[in-house]
Structures are given as structure tokens and as C-alpha cells.
């Protein structure tokens, strides 16, 4: 961050907002109950909004910050309903008490609704379908923000939360199945979209969506150890890739389009090498860290052929779009002015990438599963290991065939370039529907609230006042007439009452 924002006049504000985020994230990790977690959860959302919109003078950054904030509010609404439901069903929201209370038994639609409500919180914060649309746009923020918030910490908070409330989720087979299949399908959907993206940070953003989905799928399968294992290894190699992309953007004078780069392997050799290391880890090629953690998840899908097929196909496309990015950005010759004058960053940017490169290679050897108690020794080779490895390597072949030495994209797939038109669908139907409701509410407020209640009460008060004015007209004849009429009515009433008796 120091190197990337060295010339930014607002860097002090950046570090203040970043410190708020780190404080909030630590609060989520150390929270011992759902209410405390939710408070810091919202603070993370606020700090993310501030950091995404750091360059608020850019319209795209402001729009991305608003989008992230609003989409997360949808997921958080479900999350808080899930928290209230947890308290109602189990009488506690403390993580230490949930396992014993859940073991006492709870079944039926209520526990399913609670589980799905809690999962909604994950859908928003961890950017899973259908609330995934905010994460790619959040790349409008500074690259260090993308590296820390939107690769290693904030976006995996949803996975962490699911693991903390797993005793509740496991009570409903439907909830666990939903989590597993949402995760499984989300491994593939972003990987397909990334194959036609040209912004280097957006490519990595879609890869993040896919990798988080592996963790979500693992939680849905009930294997939390591999999910946390991949969470840890992913943090290292994805941070490395984002920082490398930041180095590229900084070296190419703020250029982010890979088709306006080229030849960077010669001008930025260190960044090129660490990008290769991060790519190998991301694709799950041995012996780097991503291989070990992904293998654990693939092994867990062995008894679920559908999930195994979808997740392995996602691995194929991950290899495809990552090699495509490297060949276009680092291979060939320079295609843009920024690439022609590209340069490595200062040591303050290079050293963190070096440290992360080492961790990306060796972090898979850490005894994470033994520490978490979520793994067991395997005495036979899993078929998923070899199939996933072959599929991942196979993804490099078409990428090299189509993108080695080219100056323009030989493929044009509008469906993928348009991101399956999910944003357009939301804009046309959901946002338009919201606009219609807003107009209806405005009409109700205008006609009923202001027209009938406010103005109507005023008209009634005025009419009552006009009527009362007749009583105080100042003419003695009128007073006498009113007195006589009143007296006659009173006498008549008394006579009538006496006759009735």
C-alpha cells in the first residue's frame, strides 16, 4: 500500500479506513456469539464501502461502493433473521453452546429456514450466487484493497461464519444440500465468465468467486477442515496474484486491460515469475500449496459425482483463463504505451510479493488439518486426485493454442463477455420492479397520506371551526332562539321519558 499509493494525496485516509477494516475483521474472528459477530460484520461492510469508494471522484468507484453496500444489505437481512431464529429455536446464540443445544434436537421447516437465513449472510459477504455481482465491480478500489479485503479476509468471512454455525446447519439436510450445490455451481460460473474478461483485476476477482465456492461446497459436504485449509492457502496465493496485478498496473502507468500490455515478462521479470507461482498454486498443480488444499476438497466430492464433475470442470477453465492472462499480459510484444515503458515496483512492493510467493509454495505443508482436527490419513490414492490434476493440466492446452503470440482475442463469446447478463437481468426486472414499487409508494404517500390524512384532517378541522363560529355570532336574537330551541328539546325529551316509564 505504501508503494502503490506513494503519490496519492489521500493515503492517510486510506490507512485510517484500512485500520478500521482490520479492527472489524478481528472482531468477527474473536466474536464468541452471533450478535457480536453481526456487529463487526456490519463494520466490515462499512469499511469495505469506504475502501471500494476510496477514489470517490471516479463515478465507477462510487457506483461500485454503493452496489457492494446495498447487495450486502440483502444478505445481511437474511443473516439477522437467521440469528433471531437461532435464538428462538435453541435459546442461545453463543458458539460454545450451539453444539450441545443443537444435539438436543430440532427439526422441521423452522430449522431449515434458520439455516437458509444464516446462509444468506454468507451469500452476501462471500459473494455467492445470486448476490455475487458486487465483487467484480469492487475492483474499482485500490489494488491493495482487492488483495486484502476481496481475496483473503472479508470475502471468506461468510465461509468462516458457516463453519461456526455448522451444528445448526447440519440439522437440515436441505440446507446442507443447498449450500453444497450453490458452492459447486459457483465454482464453474465465474470460471466461465473469466475466460472472456480483459481487465486483469476482474479476471482475478472471478477466480476469487470460484475459489470461495470450493470452500462453500466443502462446508455443504460437512468437511470443514479442508474448507479452512483451502481458506488459508488461498489467502497466500490470491494475495500474491493481486499484488502482482497491482505491480503490473503500477508499472504500466495505471493500465488494466491485458490487451494493452504484452512483453512484460522481459520488462518486469520478477512480477512475471511470482505471477507464475501464484497461477500454479491457483490451478492446483503440485507441489505448491493450492494442490494440497484443493485435493482435500476434490476427495470429499468422491461420493458426489455431480459436484465432482462440476468442480473439476471449473478447474479446467481456471487453468485456461489464468494461462490466457499470462500469455496476453506477459507474452509477445508490448501493445500499449504503458507496457512499452513498464518497470518493476520499488522494494516496498517487491518484498511482500517475495514473501507471499514463498508462502504460496510451502503453506500447503503446514499441518492445518491436524490442528483443526478435520482430516484423516489416506492409505490409498484417490481417483479424484489424478482426474483433477489431469483436468487442470488439460486447461493449459487450448489456452496456449489460442493465445500464444496473438494481438487480439481470437474468441468472442457474447454470453460470457456479458457475464451471463445477470446484472442486466437484475437491472431490468428487480431494479425496475423496485422503481415501480417506489412510484406506487410515492402515489400512496401523495394521495392517501398527504391528500386524505394530512389535507383531509385540515379540511375537517376547518369545517368544524366554521360550524363553531355560528355559535359565537354576536347577535342576541340568535342566542335567544338557540336557547328556546334547546329548552323545547329538553322539555320534549323529559316528557317523552316520563311517558315511556
Kindly tell me if the per-residue pLDDT of 468 is higher than 50.
yes
Same domain, 390 and 313: yes
Among candidate residues 389, 417, 445, the one where a domain is terminated: 417
Among candidate residues 417, 449, 477, the one where a domain is terminated: 417
Same domain, 249 and 346: yes
Same domain, 404 and 330: yes
Over residues 127-154, mean pLDDT: 84
Same domain, 380 and 286: yes
On whether residue 61 sits in a domain, the answer given is no
On whether residue 94 sits in a domain, the answer given is no
On whether residue 101 sits in a domain, the answer given is no
Return mean pLDDT, the chain: 87
Same domain, 344 and 208: yes
Same domain, 275 and 351: yes
468 Cβ contact partners less than 8 Å away, ≥ 6 residues apart: none
On whether residue 349 sits in a domain, the answer given is yes
On whether residue 446 sits in a domain, the answer given is yes
Note down the domain range covering 453.
430-500
287-298 confidence digits (pLDDT tens)? 888 888 888 888
On whether residue 116 sits in a domain, the answer given is no
Same domain, 253 and 388: yes
Q: Is 199 helix (H, G, I), strand (E, B) or coil?
A: strand
* DSSP single-letter state for residue 331: S
Residue 9: phi and psi, rounded to 5, are: -70, -15
DSSP symbols for 91-103: S--BTTTHHHHHH
* CA distances from residue 313 to 219, 295, 329, 473 in whole angstroms, order as listed: 20, 14, 25, 91
Same domain, 399 and 304: yes
Same domain, 409 and 444: no
- Total domains, the chain: 2
Same domain, 206 and 281: yes
242-297 confidence digits (pLDDT tens)? 999 989 998 888 888 899 888 888 889 999 999 999 999 999 888 888 888 888 88
Among candidate residues 366, 387, 417, the one where a domain is terminated: 417
Band the pLDDT of 160: cuts 50, 70, 90: very high
Angle, vertex CA 217, rays to CA 40 and CA 324, nearest 5: 100
Same domain, 373 and 454: no
Kindly tell me if the per-residue pLDDT of 320 is higher than 90.
yes
Same domain, 266 and 329: yes
On whether residue 150 sits in a domain, the answer given is no
343-382 confidence digits (pLDDT tens)? 888 888 889 999 999 999 988 777 766 666 544 444 434 5
* CA distances from residue 177 to 169, 189, 309 in whole angstroms, order as listed: 10, 18, 16
On whether residue 329 sits in a domain, the answer given is yes
48-83 confidence digits (pLDDT tens)? 999 998 888 888 888 989 999 999 999 999 999 999
Amino acid at each position: 500500500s505504501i508503494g502503490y499509493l506513494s503519490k496519492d494525496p489521500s493515503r492517510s485516509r486510506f490507512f485510517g479506513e484500512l485500520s478500521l477494516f482490520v479492527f472489524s475483521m478481528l472482531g468477527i474472528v474473536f466474536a464468541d456469539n452471533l450478535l457480536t459477530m453481526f456487529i463487526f460484520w456490519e463494520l466490515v461492510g462499512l469499511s469495505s464501502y469506504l475502501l471500494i469508494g476510496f477514489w470517490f471522484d471516479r463515478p465507477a468507484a462510487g457506483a461500485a461502493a454503493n452496489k457492494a453496500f446495498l447487495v450486502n444489505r440483502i444478505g445481511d437481512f437474511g443473516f439477522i433473521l437467521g440469528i433471531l431464529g437461532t435464538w428462538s429455536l435453541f435459546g442461545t446464540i453463543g458458539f460454545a453452546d450451539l453444539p450441545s443445544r443443537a444435539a438436543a434436537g430440532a427439526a422441521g421447516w423452522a430449522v431449515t429456514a434458520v439455516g437458509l437465513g444464516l446462509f444468506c449472510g454468507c451469500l452476501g459477504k462471500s459473494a455467492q450466487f445470486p448476490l455475487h455481482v458486487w465483487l467484480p465491480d469492487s475492483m474499482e478500489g485500490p489494488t491493495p484493497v482487492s488483495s486484502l479485503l476481496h481475496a483473503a479476509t472479508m470475502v471468506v468471512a461468510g465461509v468462516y461464519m458457516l463453519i461456526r454455525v455448522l451444528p445448526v446447519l447440519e440439522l437440515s439436510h436441505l440446507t446442507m444440500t443447498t449450500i453444497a450445490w450453490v458452492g459447486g455451481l459457483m465454482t464453474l460460473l465465474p470460471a466461465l465468465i473469466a475466460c472472456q474478461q480483459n481487465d486483469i483485476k476482474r479476471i482475478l476477482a472471478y477466480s476469487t468467486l470460484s475459489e470461495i465456492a470450493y470452500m462453500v461446497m466443502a462446508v455443504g459436504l460437512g468437511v470443514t477442515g479442508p474448507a479452512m485449509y483451502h481458506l488459508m492457502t488461498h489467502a497466500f496465493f490470491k494475495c500474491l496474484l493481486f499484488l502482482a496485478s497491482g505491480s503490473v498496473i503500477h508499472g504500466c502507468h495505471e493500465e488494466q486491460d491485458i490487451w494493452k500490455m504484452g512483453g512484460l515478462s522481459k520488462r518486469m521479470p520478477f512480477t512475471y515469475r511470482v505471477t507464475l507461482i501464484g497461477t500454479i498454486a491457483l490451478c492446483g498443480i503440485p507441489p505448491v500449496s493450492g494442490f494440497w488444499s484443493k485435493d482435500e476438497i476434490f476427495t470429499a466430492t468422491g461420493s458426489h459425482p455431480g459436484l465432482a464433475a462440476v468442480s473439476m470442470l471449473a478447474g479446467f477453465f481456471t487453468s485456461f483463463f489464468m494461462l490466457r492472462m499470462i500469455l496476453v499480459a506477459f507474452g509477445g510484444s508490448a501493445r500499449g504505451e504503458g507496457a512499452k515503458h513498464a518497470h518493476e515496483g520499488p522494494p516496498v512492493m517487491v518484498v511482500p510479493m517475495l514473501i507471499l510467493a514463498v508462502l504460496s509454495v510451502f503453506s500447503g505443508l503446514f499441518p492445518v488439518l491436524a490442528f483443526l482436527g478435520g482430516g484423516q490419513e489416506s492409505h490409498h490414492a484417490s481417483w479424484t486426485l489424478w482426474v483433477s490434476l489431469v483436468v487442470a493440466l488439460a486447461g493449459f492446452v487450448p489456452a496456449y493454442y489460442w493465445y500464444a503470440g496473438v494481438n487480439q482475442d481470437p474468441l468472442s463469446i457474447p454470453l460470457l463477455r456479458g457475464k451471463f447478463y445477470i446484472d442486466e437481468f437484475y437491472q431490468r426486472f428487480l431494479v425496475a420492479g423496485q422503481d415501480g414499487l417506489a412510484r406506487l409508494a410515492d402515489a400512496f404517500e401523495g394521495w392517501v397520506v398527504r391528500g386524505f390524512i394530512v389535507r383531509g384532517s385540515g379540511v375537517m378541522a376547518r369545517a368544524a371551526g366554521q360550524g363553531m363560529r355560528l355559535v359565537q355570532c354576536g347577535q342576541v336574537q340568535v342566542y335567544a332562539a338557540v336557547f328556546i330551541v334547546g329548552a323545547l328539546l329538553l322539555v320534549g325529551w323529559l316528557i317523552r321519558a316520563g311517558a315511556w316509564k
